[in-house]
A and B are shown apart, each in its own frame.
Chain A
Amino acid sequence: MNVTTKYDRPNSYIGSSVPRPNAARLLQGRGRYVDDKILPRMLHAAFLRSPHAHARITRIDTEAARALPGVVAVYDGAEIARHVTPWQGVLTHLAGMRSPDQPALAIDVARWQGEPVVMVVAQSRAIAEDALALIEVEYDPLPAVTDMEAALTEDAPRIHPEIDSNLCWQRDIDAGDVEAAFDDPANTVVERRFTFGRHTGVTLEPRVCIGDYDPSEDRLTMHYSGQAPHMMQSVLSRHLGVPEARVRVIAEDVGGSFGIKIHTYGDEIATMAAAKLLKRPVKFAADRLESFMTDIHARDHRVTARAAIDAEGRLQAVEIDDITGIGPYSVYPRSSGIEGNQVINLIGAPYELPAYRARLRVAFQNKVPMCQYRAVGHPIAMAVMEGIMDDLAAASGRDPVELRRINLRADDSYPSASPQGMKFADLSHQACLDKLLDMMDYERLKADQDRLRAQGVYRGIGFVNMVEVTNPSPMFYGVGGAPIAAQDGATARLDASGAVHVANSITEQGQGSESILAQITADVMGVDLADVHVTTGDTATVPYGGGTWASRGAGIGGEAMLRAATALKDQVLEVAAAILQGRPEALDIRAGNIVDRDSGQIRMGLADLGRTVYYRGNELPDGVAPELIATRHFKVSDYPFVFTNGIMASHVEVDAETGIVTLLDHWVVEDVGTILNEKLVDEQIRGGVVQGIGGALYEECVYSEDGQLQNATMADYLVPMAGEMPDIRIAHVSTPTRTSELGAKGAGEAGTAGAPGAVMNAVNDALRPLGARLSQMPMTPERVLKSLRQGG
């Protein structure tokens, strides 16, 4: 697709699919992941973890472990707690939320299977693991609270004695007259209960960190595989007692994160504490088993939904009850309330909806902590609403597309707001729907479907309309007291050779953030892409900012970059005008040269300018004091979020005898506003769709009733693999956001947000002639078979 933007001219990179500048380095094995770093005198940490979901720790004997040659230190929870203050994962704007103090290592009681109990620091990881085998811990098992609904009953065992129930947070929304809509006999009403399994984000590179403490300056450096270095800097300072300015967090290459590496993990904090205590670098690299038992899990919802349409098919009311289980603690500092909050905030967002009621309950349980993972809350909100839309279509005898068309917000209706109070602008549901139907050839597909059904072949088509949270403002976290910046900063500077160096507070974890920063800078500055050098991820060298999460990198960090590069360009032209004795407005930069804006005639190279300024300042006219460096910050104001929209369709075949679902096609139309690099956007969407399909069909953290994780290996926990994936075709509608000059909205989570619902609707469309319906993810073959037996 060709998008013409105001940036189309020589050195135009915004909107073009340039290859990633960092690809060659990574492909040649020159990546600098944390585990590649070997520091002098470095030690290695390993953790003994609770084998019980809930147990009192009655005795810890570490003597034999301490005596093992090569072991340098052994710490239990009480010992670490002397050097690390506990944390609480609550946000004040989520009113009424509570979560008790969480220690780095369990003290007295372990509350999930996998919670760290004892830490060993040794000369090598292998020795540390040998030592773990020598530690004796006696546990007195306590009743495990695993089912989220059972957790909230009166007589459920309490996970935290200091809290009067296992309820972490409840939120209710009541807007418009829901009851009247359900009572009106002229309306069609449907109701359905959905179950969404727990899954987790499986990153290629696990969580890895190195703590490196220099007592001479009281400086702590954390080498970090994560998404939000400045947040981590603040967390370390708060809980380890090192002044914030003396904490440095360095996140160089990161091998995937998906929201996993944006939280406070006790094992990582304990590693920093050990480095400080031992005054030697300490590395901790989670292995796969530890990753499954400690990386945050995601989703885990049970939702009951009810909705009504009038005789014309117009939505009259939606009512939602969502209960979600978050493990024993709300995760610090983002809290585990945001996921459910987004579910009830986003349901119904694509549609004109007069009345809405919702109740969200967030329950503690004895499982791995649950928190924000790619597309936080969206897959649940989309799957529930779009599942209900299909039910309403079937109940009222309408085609699913027809019912959606009746209800979609009109492209000319913005700005507008939902009953939940979400403010929408610059969305394009209708244009996206038209484009999608065109791309997938819906009418032909339906004809094929009918023909094949007669032969006993069951194919289904499923749709999902999406509204996604991107580019959040301070209303997301900062307002609730979390040390998480909503703004990002960018610095651009010209060096003596005429090259441009930029530093930005957003991070790169594989999605191409650094590429788009280079593109924006080269485009604005009028230089070759190869002459832009990007630094991210180091709190000592980049401006202060939030990092890359919530689909905010391009929209916020990108806009800051645009402004910094624009300011640098103005500075350069001012100096050039002084040297060339002209006016800055009459000059421009093209292909790395200062040129006459109108004629294009080259006046001097940027390298000449750099050398003149830095080496031969004496040649500059009197009074010219050049600054060839500019920093700008940007945050979204006026809107709490920059919402984006899109639509997806999935086409599947279900083997009614085996329950196996074969994915045939997947289509996406997405409006990301200004497209900075279409290839990167498309691959973000594809990767996201695959991750969404994972949740829909394959991925689930399976627990026994007593809270034992049953499938903590890559053989048993099924991630989606290429062989099963359909072709994913993508098209765009581009409505730039009015909140920035760049116009970019987020693109990183769209695929994950919509794919599960699209696939679920497609599976149910295939099952419909067989009288079955499935409302539980993942839709395993066995569950499909059971739904066929039970008839939905």
Chain B
Amino acid sequence: MKTNAFAYQRPDTAEEAVRLAAEGGDGARFIAGGQSLLAALNFRLDEPEALIDISRIATLRGIERRENRLLIGALTRHAEVAASPEVARDLPLIARAMREVAHPAIRNRGTFGGSLALADPAAEMPACALALDAVMHVLSPEGRRQVPAAEFFCGMYETALEPGELLTGVEIPLPEPGARHGFSELARRHGDYAMAGLAMMLGPRSGGVPSWARVAFFGLSDCPARSAAAEAAILSGARPEDCAAKACEEIEVFGDLNADEATKRHYAEVMLRRELTRLANDEERTA
């Protein structure tokens, strides 16, 4: 388990990083926290010619409030996101989900942007990005562009990032007051990638039903997936068990070693029903 030999570069700016990536072409890889990439290199699943270490680019790190949005730099460590008071207050879904991302040692090095760029189908942050309608900020030698989360995750470890494009940060609109979040994850051990997971945002209630709903599942399919059918059911005021029955209506579910397709579908329903029931009960209690 030794990597192949590769060139190593450590640029100081994002612009320099994408220039080096363009030079390196197909053989270049960005390395951020290295928590996923190094395992792939040691297994020689990937044998790059050059690693471009972006971990010292200071401008890509940190959490910043811009009006009604929070901007999380791509290099912000999972542990920093987890400890951030802004995130805890304004994006409790992310704060909640972060507790399930790996283990403290990995959260100390793994980065927010790395998790999104990697797009592991069972990872928490991509699903949170979907539920929060986040927008990805992307840099290439051609300039900057923005990609909404809904268009970012394309498949297993596949994103809208073109080769050589750098994810610089993620902009997340702050949910309006009265919005609520739901989160659930089923894993065989704490910190493992999910057998099945749910990240959900519900808009403030009007007339007894949420004003909007975004229900995203992870661990079910080749990439995180919204459930339009479940969202429609929620908006129609259906009971939690009836909303849950719709959970996987349009999602193509793939089984894995820990849970086959039927089990995953069942899990999606259980999680959604339980979270909707919990939110309804909370609502009743406060009313």
| Chain A residues engaging chain B, CB cutoff 8 angstroms | 125-126, 129-130, 133, 287-289, 657-658, 660, 698, 702, 710-711, 715-716, 718, 720-721, 723-724, 780-782, 785
Interface SS of B by simple majority: loop
> Are B186's CB and A658's CB within 8 A?
yes
Contact at A723–B190, with CB atoms within 8 Å?
A: yes
Subset of 9 A-B contacts with CB under 8 Å: A125-B2, A126-B3, A702-B257, A715-B39, A715-B193, A723-B191, A780-B258, A781-B186, A781-B259
CB-CB contacts of B173-217 with A at 8 A, as 1s and 0s?
A: 000000000000010111111010000000000000000000000
In whole angstroms, what is the CA distance A780 to B192 when docked? Answer: 14
Report B28-44 residues with CB < 8 Å from chain A CB: 39, 43-44
B267 at interface, CB cutoff 8 A: yes
| Chain B residues with CB below 8 A from A720, complex form | 189
Tell yes or no: B266 within 8 A of A by CB.
Answer: yes
Which single residue of chain B is at the shortest CB-CB distance from A44?
Answer: B2
Tell me, in angstroms, the Cα distance from A601 to B173 when the chains sit together: 84
Task: Find out whether the CB atom of B192 lies under 8 angstroms from the CB atom of A718.
Answer: yes
CB distance from B154 to the nearest CB of A (A): 23
- Find chain B residues with CB under 8 A from A724 CB: 189-190
Interfacial chain B residues near A718, Cβ < 8 Å: 188-189, 192
Determine if B186 and A660 form an interchain contact, defined as CB atoms under 8 angstroms apart.
yes
CB proximity of A385 to chain B, nearest CB, Å: 28
The answer to whether the Cβ of B12 comes within 8 Å of any Cβ in the partner chain is no
Q: Is A130 touching B270 in the complex (CB atoms < 8 A)?
A: no
B188 near A129: Cβ-Cβ < 8 Å: no
Please give, as numbers and ranges, the residues of chain A lying within 8 Å of B1 by CB-CB distance. Answer: 129, 287-289
Bound Cα distance from A263 to B267, whole angstroms: 43
Q: Which residues of chain B are near A715, meaning CB under 8 Å?
A: 39, 192-193
Q: In the complex, what residue of chain A is closest to B270 when comparing beta carbons?
A: A657
Complexed CA–CA distance, A718 and B187 (Å): 11
Given contacts A288-B1, A782-B263, contact A710 B190 (CB under 8 A): no
In the bound complex, how far is the Cα of B3 from the Cα of A723, in angstroms? 32
Assess whether A698 is in contact with B257, with CB atoms less than 8 Å apart.
Answer: no
User: Hey, which chain A residues are within 8 Å of B287, CB to CB?
Assistant: none
Q: List the A side residues contacting B267 at CB < 8 Å.
A: 658
Alpha-carbon gap, A711 to B191, bound state (A): 17
Known A289-B1, A723-B189; further 19 A-B contacts with Cβ < 8 A: A125-B2, A126-B5, A129-B1, A129-B2, A130-B4, A658-B267, A658-B270, A660-B186, A702-B257, A715-B193, A718-B189, A718-B192, A721-B190, A721-B191, A781-B188, A782-B258, A782-B260, A782-B263, A785-B266
Question: How many Å from the CB of B285 to the closest CB on chain A?
Answer: 19
CA distance A711 to B1 in the complex (A): 16
C-alpha gap A287/B3 in the complex (Å): 13
CA distance A782 to B258 in the complex (A): 7
Q: With A and B bound together, what is the CA distance between A133 and B43 in angstroms?
A: 12
Residue of A nearest to B195 (CB): A781
A716 and B266 CA atoms in complex are apart in Å by 22
Residues of B within 8 A of A657 (CB): 270
Given contacts A658-B267, A782-B263, contact A698 B188 (CB under 8 A): yes
Measured CA separation A711–B43 after assembly (Å): 14
Give Cα distance in the complex from A125 to B39, angstroms. Answer: 17
Name the CB-closest residue of B to A132. B44
Closest CB of chain B to A12's CB: distance in Å? 42
Interface residues, chain B, CB within 8 Å of chain A?
1-5, 39, 43-44, 186, 188-193, 195, 257-260, 263, 266-267, 270
Contacts of B259 in A (CB 8 A): 781-782
Q: State A129–B2 Cα separation when bound (angstroms).
A: 7
Cα A289 to Cα B190 with chains together (Å): 23
Task: Tell whether, in the assembled complex, residue A698 and residue B189 are in contact, meaning their CB atoms are under 8 Å apart.
Answer: yes
With A125-B2, A288-B1 given, is the CB distance from A721 to B270 under 8 Å? no
Q: With a CB–CB cut-off of 8 A, which chain B residues contact A723?
A: 189-191
Taking the closest CB of chain A, its distance from the CB of B123, in whole angstroms, is 13
Quote the shortest CB–CB distance from A785 to chain B (angstroms).
Answer: 6
Considering the complex, give the chain A residue whose CB is closest to the CB of B3. Answer: A126
A711 contacts B257, CB within 8 Å? yes
**A716–B193 alpha-carbon span in the complex (Å):** 10
B-chain residues with CB within 8 Å of residue A130 when the two chains form the complex: 4-5
Instruction: Report how far A576 CA is from B191 CA in the complex, Å.
Output: 63
B4–A716 CB distance below 8 A = no
Residues of A near B2 (CB, < 8 A) are 125-126, 129
Task: Compute how far the CA of A764 lies from the CA of B81 in the bound complex, rounded to whole angstroms.
Answer: 41
Residues of A within 8 A of B257 (CB): 702, 710-711, 716
Whole-angstrom CA separation of A658 from B2 in the bound complex: 39
Chain B's nearest CB lies how many Å from the CB of A778? 9
CA distance A660 to B5 in the complex (A): 44
- State how many angstroms separate the Cβ of A701 from the closest Cβ of chain B: 11
Residue ID in chain A nearest B266 by CB atoms: A785
**Which residues of chain B are within 8 angstroms of A781 by Cβ–Cβ distance?**
186, 188, 195, 258-259, 263
By a CB distance below 8 angstroms, the chain B residues around A780 are 188, 258
Complex Cα distance A288/B267, Å? 32
Q: Which residue of B lies closest to A287 (CB)?
A: B1
Closest beta carbon of chain A to B102's beta carbon, Å: 10
Alpha-carbon distance A618/B10, docked complex (angstroms): 74
Chain B nearest CB from A712 CB (Å) reads 10
Which one of A133, A288, A785 contacts B263 once the chains associate, using CB atoms below 8 Å? A785
10 closest A-B pairs by beta carbon, nearest first, are: A287-B1, A126-B2, A723-B190, A657-B270, A782-B263, A129-B2, A782-B259, A721-B189, A125-B2, A658-B186
- Expressed in whole angstroms, the Cα–Cα distance for A715 and B45 within the complex equals 15
Q: How many angstroms from the CA of A492 to the CA of B277 in the assembled complex?
A: 71
A290 CB to nearest chain B CB (Å): 8
Task: List the B side residues contacting A289 at CB < 8 Å.
Answer: 1, 43
A residues less than 8 Å from B186 (CB atoms): 658, 660, 781
Closest to B273 in A: A657
Q: How far is the CB of B180 from chain A (nearest CB, A)?
A: 23
Cα of A273 to Cα of B285 in the assembled complex, Å? 74
Q: Once bound together, how far apart are the Cα atoms of A715 and B192, in whole Å?
A: 8
How close is B187's CB to chain A, nearest CB, in angstroms?
9
Distance (whole angstroms) from the CB of A203 to the closest CB of chain B: 16
Question: Nearest CB to that of A129 among chain B residues?
Answer: B2
Distance in angstroms between the alpha carbons of A774 and B3 in the assembled complex = 43
Q: How far is the CA of A721 from the CA of B192 in the complex (A)?
A: 11
Q: How far is the CA of A428 from the CA of B113 in the complex (A)?
A: 60
Q: A289 vs B43: C-alpha distance in the bound complex, in angstroms? A: 8
In the complex, how many angstroms separate the beta carbon of A781 from the nearest chain B beta carbon?
Answer: 7
Min C-beta distance of A93 to chain B, whole Å: 40
Residues on the A chain within 8 Å of B195, using CB: 781
Closest residue of chain A to B271 (Cβ to Cβ) is A658
How many Å from the CB of A303 to the closest CB on chain B? 24
Q: How far is the CA of A289 from the CA of B257 in the complex (A)?
A: 18
Q: In the bound complex, how far is the Cα of B195 from the Cα of A130, in angstroms?
A: 36
**Chain B nearest CB, measured from A759 CB (Å):** 15
The CA-CA distance from A129 to B188 in the complex, in Å, is 34
Q: How far is the CB of A319 from chain B (nearest CB, A)?
A: 34
Nearest Cβ in chain B — how far from A657, in angstroms?
5
Most chain B beta carbons < 10 A, residue from A288, A289, A718: A718
- A142 CB, nearest partner CB in chain B, Å: 26
Tell me, in angstroms, the Cα distance from A626 to B12 when the chains sit together. 74
Residues of B within 8 A of A721 (CB): 189-191
Q: Which residues of A contact B5 (CB under 8 A)?
A: 126, 130
B105 CB to nearest chain A CB (Å): 13
A658 to B195, CA, bound (A): 11
The minimal Cβ–Cβ distance linking A678 to chain B, given in whole angstroms, is 30
The interface centre, meaning the residue of B5, B189, B193 with most chain A CB atoms within 10 A of its CB, is B189
* CB-defined contacts of B192 to chain A, threshold 8 Å: 715, 718
Closest A residue to B269 using CB positions: A657
| Shortest Cβ gap from A122 to chain B (Å) | 11
**What B residues does A660 contact at CB under 8 A?**
186, 188
CB nearest neighbor in A for B259: A782
Distance, CA A711 to CA B257, complexed state (A) = 8
Minimum C-beta distance from A455 to chain B (A):
15
CB distance from B195 to the nearest CB of A (A): 7
> A254 to B30, alpha carbons, bound, how many Å?
38
Among B1, B3, B39, B259, max chain A CB count under 10 A is at B1
